[in-house]
Amino acid sequence: MQALQSHYWAVRDYLSPVLKESKFKEHGRITPEEFVAAGEFLVYKFPVWSWEKGDASKARDFLPADKQYLVTRGVPCLRRATSLAYTDADEDAERLLNFGDSSTSGEADEWVETHAGRKSHADSAPGVIDDIPDLDGEQELASGVNALSLGSGGAEETPNLDDIPDMEEDDLEEKDEATATSKPSGVVDASNIEVAKGNLLQVRTYDVMITYDKYYQTPRVWLIGYDEHGKPLTPSEIFQDISADHAHKTVTIEPFLHSTSLQAASVHPCKHASVMKKVIERMNNSVVEEQLARRKSGGSTPKDKESKKKWPFARKSSGTGKDEKPAGDEEEVEGMRVDFYLVVFLKFIASIVPTIEVDSTTSF
Amino acid sequence: MPLVQFAPFSSLIHPSFWHELTNLKIDVLRLSDEALPISGSYSVGRSVTDRESGSEIALACNLTVGSESFDKEIKASPGTILASGTFKNYNTIEEFKAADKAALFNHEVNKIWDRIVITRDTRFLNHFLLITFADLKKYKYYYWFAFPAFVAKPAWEILDDGWKDATEEFSAEQLFKIHEQLRSRSSPLPFFLIQHDASIGPVEDFASFFGSTPTERPTIGFVDPSAHPTNPGWPLRNLLAYLRALHPGSSSTLRVLCWRDTEIPISSWKSRVGVIKVESGKQQETDERPSAVGWEKNPQGKLGPRMADLAPMMDPTKLANQAV
């Protein structure tokens, strides 16, 4: 099934023409050239992103050889997306807490605790993989995915390191007091975060890739995740970091476009164009308004203040190295520039993976 | 004075590394278990602000290997520092278990020490060791990293005011200048010396860099993979060993800049600075190699290997099930 589908996609991808004409404001799609331009801007403004050339045999000829896709590594993910959703389930039930000594003062402080069941969930020991909540009507899918998880996947098939205890050699080297205490990297001790009330944070990291999807003519996001010990995440673990609206529906594990062997989780781009169109429309309107206002006010006066705030829209892209033109009469009201497309796109992706900090652009 | 405690490297292996190893094992290495040169990379330590609690959380002090690690002509991508390593893959789990780890480790440590005392260059200070066993049929990869670091005896201590924000001792202009110089170099500088006017130079020039007037506490800097406020990263250890071995007279008190800013920061500089001290006089003979530590601990906190199970991401049958 998977193979069939992949082949179908490959053929469809091969047959679909390369988009030539810029249409990003009309329907949210971009051309490869615009993808490169937007990528250049992203790399320039946010150097955590960089271009990759990928596997030479998989190179797409409509993109420059050394600019096949964008990547940023080690994107932190502090919490599971599943912990954000507010559900009707028991875990969100409220209960009364009594902090006073109940035997002496019955009327003492009582507090309502919400999410009463949440705590045990958040405190679950590192390494324990919680089941993904089943979605109605998707029992089959969910059980299929659960079968993949380490816990239920047949214990004899997945020996973990405890099975080879004779390899632990604690006498291999002497104890060294100049080594910082090895708390598992990324797991934050409860005492360090008072506000989080003793929740253990399992800080996962993700490598995030953005490729250009020729068929849908939009960027496409790919994720490879690691747990706090640097161990690669399984598909079911990755789904914990995807908002419930999208997990199992639009996110799948597929062969990564620019590698011969790598598998990665990918957000399917079939809805990207329409969502991007809406977002762009909204942003474009405010940008056009601002540009008009600026023109009316006679060019140079408010330039400093306003363009500082909204400059990415108004400027002749600094990503391509052009200087800002004076906001005089000769300048067309052009609205949002396509250079900004990927920055907007990342904000949209951030809503699908709410706990993965893909959007490093919040400083705007 | 409190002891200086260094944040150890933790390994991060990109899945493409295992793919590349699989190909290499089948097509090139076959049954050979010769040691191969590889390379890894690290960059400045990163931290993230937790939106729920507002606290700053330091991410792991990572040394990363990927498919490019086998590439002999590898070039560091901007903002990263390359580290050389020795890689050894065993054919069976029994051989992997039975490997003489102490001998392997000592061999690498000797190489690092020889580079310090003979060629006197700093390029080998981050040298690491990686041993693996690849169970190709089950997509399971057993591995164990060692990041050798020399143990200073007596140990380094930090002055009582501890590690501080770099801005407390450096002006913004000075930090800009350091940033600019680090960025403009064709090959990135993992370790450097800093003048009063914030000009920087390679550590190999230690004897001449500070001029004829002997400085009481020379300022050294290094690209710091740690983001912990009070723990400098692992690379500093071998840099200190290097300075103690080659310049024992003028390196007993040092001001250390832990460089943690690849980018000009939007709000505040992340780099840290502190003055560290070692009791001179009691030092051991310089030409005698100090002992070294550095095997990576497993997730249970014990000295033991780790395993990456890539079956969920590589095994065709599992992938087919998942794609219902």
Q: What is the pLDDT of residue A190?
A: 36
CATH number of the domain where residue B217 is located: 3.40.140.100
Cβ distance of A253 and B61 shorter than 8 Å: no
Known active-site residue A77: no
Q: What is the pLDDT of residue A200?
A: 54
One domain for residues B24 and B116: yes
**Domain enclosing residue B213, as ranges:** 157-277
Instruction: Tell me A36's DSSP state.
Output: H
Q: What is the pLDDT of residue A113?
A: 47
Interface confidence, given as ipTM, is 0.85
Q: Is A3 helix (H, G, I), strand (E, B) or coil?
A: helix
Among the partner residues A172, A232, A253, nearest to B102 by beta-carbon distance: A172
Q: What average pLDDT does range A211-234 have in this prediction? A: 91
Supply the angle between the helices A341-352 and A32-45 in degrees, to the nearest 10.
80
Q: What is the pLDDT of residue A219?
A: 93
- Per domain, the residue ranges of chain A are 18-88+183-362
pLDDT at residue A322 is higher than 70? no
Q: What average pLDDT does range A274-288 have in this prediction? A: 84
Q: What average pLDDT does range A29-51 have in this prediction? A: 90
Residue A76 sits at the chain B interface (C-beta within 8 Å): yes
Instruction: Tell me B15's DSSP state.
Output: H
One domain for residues B301 and B265: no
Cβ(A25)–Cβ(A281) below 8 Å: yes
DSSP string, A221-272: EEEEEE-TTSPBPPHHHHHTTS-TTTTTTTEEEEE-TT-SS-EEEEE-GGGH
Cβ(A50)–Cβ(A63) below 8 Å: no
Q: What average pLDDT does range B83-108 have in this prediction? A: 94
Cβ(A340)–Cβ(A38) below 8 Å: yes
Cβ(B13)–Cβ(A230) below 8 Å: yes
- Nearest C-alpha of chain A: how many angstroms from B212? 34
**Which of A110-124, A254-268, B227-241 has the lowest average pLDDT?**
A110-124
Q: What is the pLDDT of residue B323?
A: 60
Q: What residues contact B95, with CB distance under 8 A and at least 6 apart?
A: B33, B133
Which one of A231, A266, A356, A363 would you mutate to disrupt binding with B, by most B Cβ within 10 Å of its Cβ?
Answer: A231
Average pLDDT, chain B: 89
Among the partner residues B11, B303, B308, nearest to A168 by beta-carbon distance: B303
pLDDT confidence band for B214 (50 / 70 / 90): low
pLDDT at residue A137 is higher than 60? no
Q: Which residues of A touch B263 (CB under 8 A)?
A: 47
pLDDT at residue A70 is higher than 90? yes
Average pLDDT, chain A: 68
Which one of B23, B27, B57, B266 would you mutate to disrupt binding with A, by most A Cβ within 10 Å of its Cβ?
Answer: B57
One domain for residues B27 and B127: yes
Q: Which residues of A touch B320 (CB under 8 A)?
A: 1-3
Q: What is the pLDDT of residue B283?
A: 54
Q: What residues contact B191, with CB distance under 8 A and at least 6 apart?
A: B122, B125, B202, B203, B220, B221, B222, B223, B235, B239
Q: How far apart are CA A293 and CA A273, in angstroms?
A: 29
Q: Which residues of A touch B77 (CB under 8 A)?
A: 50
CB pairs under 8 A between A and B: 200
Q: What residues contact B100, with CB distance under 8 A and at least 6 apart?
A: none
Q: What is the pLDDT of residues B264-293, one digit of tens each?
A: 887 889 999 999 999 876 555 556 889 999
Q: Which residues of A touch B106 (CB under 8 A)?
A: none
Could you tell me which residue, A359 or A298, shows the higher pLDDT? A359
Q: Which residues of A touch B9 (CB under 8 A)?
A: none
CATH number of the domain where residue B317 is located: 3.40.140.70
Q: What is the pLDDT of residues B48-90, one digit of tens each?
A: 877 777 788 888 899 999 988 998 888 887 788 999 999 999 9
One domain for residues B298 and B227: no
Q: Is residue B131 part of a domain?
A: yes
- C-alpha B307: how far from chain center: 21
One domain for residues B44 and B97: yes
pLDDT at residue A345 is higher than 50? yes
Cβ distance of B319 and A158 shorter than 8 Å: no
Cβ distance of A232 and B311 shorter than 8 Å: no
One domain for residues B135 and B37: yes
Q: Which residues of B touch A179 (CB under 8 A)?
A: 5-6, 8, 293
Residue A248 sits at the chain B interface (C-beta within 8 Å): no
Q: Judging by DSSP bridges, how do beta strands A251-255 and A263-267 pair with one another?
A: antiparallel
Cβ distance of A185 and B10 shorter than 8 Å: yes
Q: What average pLDDT does range A162-181 have in this prediction? A: 70
Q: Which residues of A touch B229 (CB under 8 A)?
A: none
Total tally of structural domains belonging to chain B: 2
One domain for residues B28 and B142: yes
Cβ distance of B322 and A145 shorter than 8 Å: yes
Q: What is the pLDDT of residue B192?
A: 95
Among the partner residues A126, A195, A229, nearest to B54 by beta-carbon distance: A195
Number of helices followed by number of strands (H, E) in chain B? 8, 17
pLDDT at residue A298 is higher than 70? no
pLDDT at residue A208 is higher than 60? yes
Rg of chain B over Cα atoms, rounded to whole angstroms, equals: 21
Q: What average pLDDT does range A12-30 have in this prediction? A: 76
- C-alpha B44: how far from chain center: 10
**Which of A119-133, A172-186, A337-351, B195-209 has the lowest average pLDDT?**
A119-133
Q: Is residue B1 part of a domain?
A: no
pLDDT confidence band for A186 (50 / 70 / 90): very low
- Nearest C-alpha of chain A: how many angstroms from B284? 18
Which one of A43, A191, A262, A361 would you mutate to disrupt binding with B, by most B Cβ within 10 Å of its Cβ?
Answer: A262
Q: Which residues of B touch A122 (CB under 8 A)?
A: none
Supply the angle between the helices A341-352 and A272-296 in degrees, to the nearest 10.
130
Q: Is residue B297 part of a domain?
A: yes
One domain for residues B139 and B161: no
Among the partner residues B60, B79, B293, nearest to A185 by beta-carbon distance: B60
Q: How far apart are CA B56 and CA B308, in angstroms?
A: 29
Q: Is B119 helix (H, G, I), strand (E, B) or coil?
A: helix
Residue found under tokens 């169970």:
B135
Q: Is residue B284 part of a domain?
A: no
Q: What is the pLDDT of residue B135?
A: 92
Cβ distance of A79 and B7 shorter than 8 Å: no
Among the partner residues B142, B313, B324, nearest to A141 by beta-carbon distance: B324
Among the partner residues B14, B59, B312, nearest to A186 by beta-carbon distance: B59
How much of chain A, in percent, has pLDDT values that exceed 70?
57
One domain for residues B17 and B100: yes
Most confidently modeled range among A71-80, A109-118, B85-94, B298-307? B85-94
Taking a contact as any Cβ pair under 8 Å apart, which residues of chain A between 252 and 281 contact chain B? 252-253, 259-263
Q: What is the pLDDT of residues B146-165, one digit of tens each?
A: 999 999 988 999 999 999 99
Which of A294, A304, A305 has the alpha carbon at shortest distance from A328? Answer: A294
Q: What average pLDDT does range B243-250 have in this prediction? A: 89
pLDDT confidence band for A141 (50 / 70 / 90): very low
Supply the angle between the helices A272-296 and A303-314 in degrees, to the nearest 10.
150
Residue A95 sits at the chain B interface (C-beta within 8 Å): no
Residue of chain B with shortest Cα separation from A185: B60
State the catalytic residue, choosing from A97, A147, A270, A293. Answer: A270
Number of helices followed by number of strands (H, E) in chain A? 9, 10
Residue A195 sits at the chain B interface (C-beta within 8 Å): yes
Among the partner residues A145, A168, A195, nearest to B302 by beta-carbon distance: A168
pLDDT at residue A296 is higher than 80? no
pLDDT confidence band for A247 (50 / 70 / 90): confident
Residue A187 sits at the chain B interface (C-beta within 8 Å): no
Q: Is B242 helix (H, G, I), strand (E, B) or coil?
A: helix
Q: Which residues of B touch A232 (CB under 8 A)?
A: 13, 15, 308-310, 313
Q: Is residue B283 part of a domain?
A: no
Q: What residues contact B148, with CB distance under 8 A and at least 6 apart?
A: B105, B108, B109, B112, B127, B128, B129, B238, B292, B293, B294
The two structure tokens encoding residue B4: 């200086």
